[in-house]
Amino acid sequence: TDLDAFITGLPKAELHLHIEGSLEPEQMFEFARRNGVTIPFASVDEVRAAYDFSNLQDFLDIYYAGADVLRTEEDFRDLALAYFDRAAADGVVHAEIFFDPQTHTHRGVPFGVVANGLLAGMAEAEKRHGLTAKLILCFLRHLDEADAFRTLEQAQPWLDQIAGVGLDSSELGHPPSKFARVFAAAAAMGLKRVAHAGEEGPPDYVHEALDLLGVDRLDHGNRSLEDPALVARLARSGMTLTVCPLSNVKLCNVASIDVHPIDRMLRLGLRATVNSDDPAYFGGYVGDNYRAIAKGRELDRDDLVTLARNSFLGSFLSDDEVAGHL
Ligand code: HPA
Ligand code: ZN
């Protein structure tokens, strides 16, 4: 349709994408086979049927299990390249992608295998599609501070190829305050900082991400809407929120796409963006997320242009690079 073509043709940046969450079931089987890894599913259909989540933890359990098929540099390269092929087809011209090193180092896959593989995929995608890409190292918040510090230490040889650090995994019970010192160390190394906050956790966690982690960008942030003073603060400071509509519905944080607050966020003056989070698990890539809210919330084309524009404004590209995309 016209709307589909409009959305695809809209140049956009993706700012909230977990590369491990782009592992499609077909690829899971392929990597399992070539690495001789056993997976607890008989078919692709069986895998997809298991993607029925009632909350974040439900999803994370399956997501970490799926990542077990990722073993070699080639796996990480192929995974990244497959994501960028899909993203480019959706009109993504810049992507800042998360990776979870601890998911892999804890299974005996060295940090360098993960980083070199992803960087190889990014370089190939830049050549193939003329897009740009950055890498964000996420700490798993269900693990402790010392583990995060070890991970930051392992990242040292790759630091000039890593744009920033993030915080993901189980939010409830693992407030940003737990990682204040790790984020201060990352900041001292010149790294940008982002954090998942207010996905399932309360508005207080968003305050902590701002005050204790000094985040440059907020991932999700939905529950900020419960706190008017916080909304005012986010709007006033021009803080970017990386909103993930299909993820919110799949993880039961929003009842359905027709009641998603994305339009309310825009009306409140928040710099909201639209992203896919874990597209292989949540039923769609970034274009699908734009289409879902365009239809579900009847956003007009100006709103879609605003969302795409926000994605560049909220990116870690230089001012000149951003200007070139607007
Ligand atoms: N939230 C927290 N951790 C995650 C997510 C998410 O949506 N996706 C992958 N890890
Ligand atoms: Zn996420």
pTM for the structure as a whole: 0.98
Is residue 321 in a domain? no
**Among 137, 167, 169, which residue has the most ligand 1 atoms within 8 Å of its CB, making it the best to mutate?**
169
Q: How many domains does the chain have?
A: 1
Is residue 184 in a domain? yes
Neighbouring CB atoms inside 10 A of 209's CB total 29
Residue 199 CB less than 6 A away from ligand 1: yes
194 closest CA partner among 220, 172, 170, 225: 220
Residue 102 CB less than 6 A away from ligand 1: no
Dihedral-angle region of residue 24 (phi above 0 means left; psi in -120 to 50 means alpha; beta otherwise): beta
- What is the per-residue burial (b if ≥16 Cβ within 10 Å, else e) of 90-119? bbbbbbbbbbbbbbbbeeebebebbbbbbb
Confidence of residue 1 (pLDDT cuts 50, 70, 90): confident
Distance from the alpha carbon of residue 10 to the mean position of ligand 2, in angstroms: 23
H/E element holding 113? helix 111-129
Quote the pLDDT of residue 116: 98
Nearest CA to ligand 1 atom 2: 169
Is residue 324 in a domain? no
Quote the pLDDT of residue 298: 81
Is residue 322 in a domain? no
Q: Which residues contact 102 (CB under 8 A, 6 or more apart)?
A: 139, 140, 143, 147, 151
Whether residue 125 has pLDDT greater than 90: yes
What is the distance between the alpha carbons of residues 39 and 300, in angstroms, rounded to a whole number?
Answer: 44
Whether residue 197 has pLDDT greater than 90: yes
Quote the pLDDT of residue 263: 97
What is the distance between the alpha carbons of residues 251 and 229, in angstroms, rounded to a whole number?
Answer: 27
CATH code (residue 178): 3.20.20.140
Ligand nearest to the CA of 53: 1
Is residue 81 in a domain? yes
Is residue 38 in a domain? yes
What is the distance between the alpha carbons of residues 118 and 62, in angstroms, rounded to a whole number?
Answer: 22
Q: Write out the residue range of the structural domain in which residue 133 sits.
A: 2-313
DSSP string, 212-253: TS--SEEEE-GGGGG-HHHHHHHHHHT-EEEE-HHHHHHTTS
Residue 278 CB less than 6 A away from ligand 1: yes
Whether residue 212 has pLDDT greater than 90: yes
For residue range 79-91, what is the model confidence (pLDDT) as tens digits? Answer: 999 999 999 999 9
Ligand nearest to the CA of 201: 1
**Among 14, 63, 100, 168, which residue has the most ligand 1 atoms within 8 Å of its CB, making it the best to mutate?**
168
Is residue 326 in a domain? no
Is residue 158 in a domain? yes
Residues forming the active site: 199
Residue 68 CB less than 6 A away from ligand 1: no
For residue range 280-289, what is the model confidence (pLDDT) as tens digits? Answer: 999 999 999 9
- Tokens 């991932």 belong to which residue? 219
